[in-house]
Amino acid sequence: MSKNSFEQPIKREEPPIEEMEKKLDKAEKMVEEVEGRWKDEIEEFEIEKSVKELKKLWEENEAGLELKDSITVFPLFSSLPLPEIPPFLLERTSNKFLREFDWKKFKGRKYLNTDLGLFLSAFLNKNIERYILSQKRKEFKEGQIKPIEVHLNVKELPVVLKYLGYRNPKKLYLIIKGDVGGWTGNKMKGGEIIVKGNCNDSTGFGIQGGEITIKGNCADYTGLGMQGGKIIVKGNCRYDTGRYMQGGELNIKGEVESFDKSAFSSNNQGTIIWKNTKIWENGNWTKEGKEMWERREIP
């Protein structure tokens, strides 16, 4: 065998570029799947841990709340070491807490719907306030901070919760599926509340800012003492609507059984829109409102 035969270069067949790209894509997908499973496991652990902490805090502090009102109960709940979690986990944590709540144990408890609504509101508010503070520390301006949506499903609960959205902060968009009890959006500061159902009494009591939209009907005292913000009711309202209203915008698309006479006093510097007609603004009747009043069309 000649010496030259050993010196022949060995030819290696390179795989086609398309085949190499397919292998790289497959490898990247495998990495993404592993990272996704790892991320999901961490999130589920965080949610499970937070729900356990919420249950424990509730059980430790729910005794003796029967005789206390919202003015006392909410600060109590807000002072607790409520779980601190990333804002994108608030929705799943809140719904899991409600699903797993020991309803049988508290069957018949008179103010459970009030205290539990305040407890959940305190948990949401505290985490949103932490989120806003963290964004400001990163030098984000108010308008640059993205709002956090939390969808609550209360449709299948054995009680109708009151006080959901109590002191609702800016940057919290609370979307509620199902009917809610009284005092929804009480003393709301900002953000948005959407109720895909009906509300009981005193919706938006003392609201200062933000917007509440009720896609169903409201009971008595809608907009009670509202100072600012906006309330939109797409259905009907019952008695004493707009009672002691001072400011903001109350927009009712459907029927009203009666407006409270205080809604049409000079103390009300807000706006009332009824059936798509502006009837009151800045302490006075509008032209259309005055004509409707004189024709006794306003209940």
**CB pairs under 8 A, 24+ apart, for 32-37?**
none
Among 1-10, 18-27, 274-283, the range scoring the smallest mean pLDDT is 1-10
The pLDDT, as a whole number, for residue 108 is 79
The pLDDT, as a whole number, for residue 30 is 58
Q: What is the pLDDT of residues 157-171, one digit of tens each?
A: 999 999 999 999 999
Res 267 pLDDT > 80: yes
Token output for 77: 């709940």
The pLDDT, as a whole number, for residue 72 is 85
* Residue ranges per structural domain of the chain: 42-143, 179-299
The pLDDT, as a whole number, for residue 109 is 82
The pLDDT, as a whole number, for residue 21 is 63
Does 163 or 31 have the greater pLDDT score? 163
Res 36 pLDDT > 60: no
Cite the beta strand spans of the chain per DSSP E: 148-153, 172-177, 192-196, 211-214, 230-233, 249-252, 271-274, 277-281, 284-285
Res 38 pLDDT > 80: no
Distance in angstroms (rounded) separating the CA atoms of residues 169 and 78? 13
Contact call for residues 179 and 216 (beta carbons, < 8 A): yes
